[in-house]
Amino acid sequence: MNESKLIELFKNKLAKKEYKDVFGYACFFGSMKRDIDFFAIPKKDVKKGQFLKILQEFLEEIKVELKKRGIAVLILPYSVYEEEVEYIGAGKLKNLLKIHSDTFNDVHPPLKELLPILKNSDKILAGSSKAIDELKETKIDYYYNYLFNTNVLLSNYPKSLERKKMLHKAGYVCKYGIGKKPQFKGSARKIFFDCCDLLDNYAYR
């Protein structure tokens, strides 16, 4: 899929009301020749857990749309698990489009060498880079970032492994981030969404 069509797809999806009301800034950065680097953050009054859920829904929609166009895609966060995700999730798929997803984990705490690149992107998809400076910190940003970086819901994992990993990571986040040990139930996706809600209830009370 060429660059202009991919940009058009993302822009059109982000223009939908359910995303337009939440995304403060979104862009592609880097060359886009090998992998796609996507960055997005919420508007200043949007809770971080709420944003992680809506970002997940947005990327799921992108993945479905690309699949309709015959494009195999692997969406993964920048994290220490990147090689593992690629090894398990890519499998034998050929001509795989890899999309790296980034969010406020680059801003709180700031990655000083990356922020100027994000702010000066020439491939803006939605909003304004001013949202980077307007983004509010919370006392549990480490755990929001940890949950985002260990999210494997879009990584093409076997469902049993996906749920096992999500259960373990959400348990860690809640135990050490908010001092609770919830009994998560349901799918990996539900566990992720429930964990986002628990973090928000603690951070924004």
Has residue 132 got a pLDDT over 70? yes
Which amino acid makes up residue 3?
E
Question: Encoding tokens for residue 84?
Answer: 């593992």
Position 153 scores a pLDDT of 92
Question: Encoding tokens for residue 43?
Answer: 């508007």
Question: Encoding tokens for residue 24?
Answer: 């403060």
Residue 59's pLDDT band (boundaries 50, 70, 90)? very high
Has residue 80 got a pLDDT over 60? no
Q: Which of 205, 172, 203 is nearest to 52 (CA)?
A: 203
Task: Please tell me the pTM assigned to this model.
Answer: 0.91
Position 105 scores a pLDDT of 76
Tell me the pLDDT tens digit for each residue of 174-205: 999 999 989 999 999 999 999 999 999 999 99
Helix axes 141-149, 188-203, angle to 10 degrees: 170
* Percentage with pLDDT > 90 across the chain: 63
- Rounded to whole angstroms, the Cα distance separating 153 from 171 reads 16
Report the chain's mean pLDDT, rounded to a whole number. Answer: 89
